[in-house]
């Protein structure tokens, strides 16, 4: 366990009772930066790609239109955040009322851990790169009767 060294504010402290309890003003718009993701550097040095909020929302709306989720769905968030696929795994569920489930540390490379998580958490949607999808499907055929609603793959 890593000790927390930041400041802690007790919202019940009377010194804060005079503060306005309303929501903060919206400061980010569609053209504002949402995040920076870095290329692999296969052509030299890695480059930062700046992604605006509009691009994230566009992707999520497209995903929802073509692969609709509802509140019964459970997404397995297994892609490292250094890959762009992680963006929809991290945020798509929150706009649909679905749920997201995290794997134990290192579990994304182990088909057995993935299968156990699918069964225990009732996962319905997940993503794979093609090589891992192949290994996962072989393992799934041998060990599981679970049925995923969607198995998404991309390069």
Residue pair 39/71 in contact (Cβ under 8 Å)? The answer is no
Mean pLDDT of successive 10-residue stretches along the chain, which has 155 residues: 83 82 87 92 90 96 94 92 89 94 88 88 87 77 60 59
**Nearest of 83, 82, 133, 127 to residue 101 by alpha carbon:** 127
> Out of 1.10.1760.20, 1.10.10.10, 3.40.50.980, 3.40.50.720, which CATH number does the structure's domain 29-153 have?
3.40.50.980
Cα 10 to chain centroid distance, Å, stands at 30
| Residues 6 or more apart in contact with residue 37 via CB below 8 angstroms | 48, 49, 51, 82, 83, 84
H helix runs in 23-52, sequence order: none
Predicted structure pTM score: 0.72
pLDDT at position 130: 81
Domain boundaries, the chain: 29-153
Q: In angstroms, rounded to a whole number, what is the distance separating the alpha carbons of residues 119 and 139?
A: 14
**Nearest of 101, 104, 92, 108 to residue 123 by alpha carbon:** 101
pLDDT at position 148: 62
Cα atoms found within 13 Å of the Cα of residue 38, Cβ hemisphere only: 9
Residue pair 93/150 in contact (Cβ under 8 Å)? The answer is no
Q: Quick check: helix, strand or coil at residue 24? A: coil
Q: In angstroms, rounded to a whole number, what is the distance separating the alpha carbons of residues 84 and 139?
A: 26
pLDDT at position 149: 63
pLDDT at position 145: 53
């Amino acid at each position: 366990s890593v000790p927390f060294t930041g400041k802690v504010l007790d919202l019940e402290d009377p010194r804060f009772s005079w503060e306005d309890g309303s929501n903060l003003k919206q400061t980010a718009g569609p053209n504002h930066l949402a995040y920076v993701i870095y290329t692999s550097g296969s052509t030299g040095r890695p480059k930062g790609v700046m992604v605006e909020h509009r691009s994230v929302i566009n992707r999520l709306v497209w995903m929802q239109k073509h692969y609709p989720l509802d509140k019964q769905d459970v997404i397995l968030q297994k892609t490292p955040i250094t890959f762009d696929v992680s963006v929809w795994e991290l945020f798509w569920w929150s706009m649909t009322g679905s749920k997201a489930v995290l794997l134990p540390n290192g579990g994304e490379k182990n088909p057995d851990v993935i299968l156990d998580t699918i069964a225990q958490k009732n996962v319905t949607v997940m993503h794979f790169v093609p090589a891992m999808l192949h290994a996962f499907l072989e393992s799934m055929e041998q060990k599981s009767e679970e049925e995923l609603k969607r198995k998404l793959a991309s390069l």
